Amino acid sequence: MDEPRLHRIVLGERTDEFLRQQSINFAVVGFLVHLLLCVLHGLGRIDLPGMEPLIDSYLDALYTPFSIILAYEVYELIRAIPESFSNAIGKQFEVVTLLVVRDIFKNLADLNENKSTALYDPVAFIAVEVLAFFVLFATALYFRNATSNAPAKMHADQSLSTFVRQKQTLATALFVVYVLVAMWSFTTWTNGVIGGEGDLSRTVFFSDFFTWLVMSDILILLISYKHTTDFNHLARNTGFVLSTVVIRVGIGAPGYAGAALFILASVLAVGVLWLNISFDREQATNEAE
């Protein structure tokens, strides 16, 4: 099967390896620079109005490397789209898992700086976020195990080959959207910091990107109707799209609601994949008999 040239350039193996190495390098440098700013602020050597929420605790330095790693993981998510819906959904939960971890670090940093003794609600919220992390992490591992054990499917059929090429084209388009959204989000966030609003909300970039991701998932689902009439396959993908929508809403939901929606999305996605695998296994057994 011929791979679109642009897809090979921006989402190919060589580009992926290059970006992986650079992401690690940037994460290390970003962590050290952020940590240095935190130290200098703690010693009273620098005063950066509007950036206090970013440097008022040493734990804030963890935010930068995790943000860079998250950016690379989003790229990996886009690369997984042409492979299979299941792989892409699994990568999606890996991204959200890291997103929640980053939120936990930030909340711990805020808790560390809070001088009040009435910390019951912040601690309870962090505990719920930790629970969401465990559920999301387990979901990501379940998807990775399920998709790695799935038998490889040869796309010898012309219809399926066409479908894969269409997904590669869509993934390339989503990569362009990813770059544009990242640039817009960074510019908007930087202007906010300059204006004295150094917000570290997870809605920055991820809210917009997951909106586009939902649109691409729906488009893939609609295109897949041209290539298969199997209800099990279509229902599974519809359930996956629904879990993505729940995650998108959870990203923008404040407090406990966001953590609850992440857990709900995990339960939904795992349930759909488990039913699909169980049905396929039972169908294969019946055919063997």
194-235 confidence digits (pLDDT tens)? 666 656 678 889 999 999 999 999 999 888 887 777 778 888
- Closest by CA to 233, choosing from 86, 95, 107, 36, is 86
- The answer to whether the CB of 202 falls within 8 A of the CB of 96 is no
Single pTM value for the model: 0.88
Confidence of residue 57 (pLDDT cuts 50, 70, 90): confident
Lowest mean pLDDT among 85-89, 141-145, 233-237, 282-286: 282-286
7-29 confidence digits (pLDDT tens)? 889 999 999 999 999 999 999 99
Copy the structure tokens of residue 114: 């809070």
Can you give the pLDDT at residue 152?
A: 46
- The answer to whether the CB of 57 falls within 8 A of the CB of 112 is yes
The type of residue at 58 is Y
Can you give the pLDDT at residue 274?
A: 92
Q: Which domain holds residue 13?
A: 5-148+155-288
Which of residues 2 and 160 earns the better pLDDT score?
160
The number of folded domains in the chain is 1
